[in-house]
Structures are given as C-alpha cells and as structure tokens.
Amino acid sequence: MTESDSVANSQSPSEQRSRNLMLGIGLGAICGLIASYLYSRAAEEHDDGDTGAARSISTGQLLAVLLAVLGVIRQVAELGKPKKPGKK
C-alpha cells in the first residue's frame, strides 16, 4: 500500500470528491492557460500585420479540437473505474 492509497482511504467520499474537483479545476485552468498562450503566439507569428484582425477558425478545426477534448475527458473518466480482472 502506498502513501497515496492510505491518504485516499482516510478521507471521506465527500472530502475525496472535493479534492478531486479542486485538482480538476486547477489542471483545467493550467491547461486552458497554456493552450490560449500557444494559440495567441501562433496567431501573432502568422499575422500579416495590415488588418490586425484575428484569423477565423474553421468549423472543421473547431470540431476536431472538440472531439479530441472529448476523447481526453473520456479517458480521464475511465481512470476512476476499477480494473477488470485479467487485464493489465
């Protein structure tokens, strides 16, 4: 048994849920901040400088990003499920 297992077992389900939500909020904020920074930097590097208008995002690109995010959310949700016997 590891230290994290003993900490998880000593907390009530309500405390553990609160801790998980706070961790998720923090990680989501950090990932969102990094993503927006990278997007802004890429947009500035490829800016033509004349109009100053932001380049529009196509529906296809937005849909691809949305599906990728949903895939990550699904994988995170699977982490909380117990492992099935016989699988590694």
Reported as a single tens digit per residue, the pLDDT across 22-81 is 999 999 999 999 999 999 998 888 876 666 666 788 999 999 999 999 999 999 999 988
The residues near 46 (Cβ < 8 Å, ≥ 6 apart) are 55
Assess if residue 84 is contained within a domain: no
Q: How many domains does the chain have?
A: 1
Long-range contacts of 82-85 (CB under 8 A, 24+ apart): none
Tokens of 34: 């990094």
**Stated pTM of the model:** 0.66
Assess if residue 87 is contained within a domain: no
Domain limits for position 68: 3-79
Assess if residue 69 is contained within a domain: yes
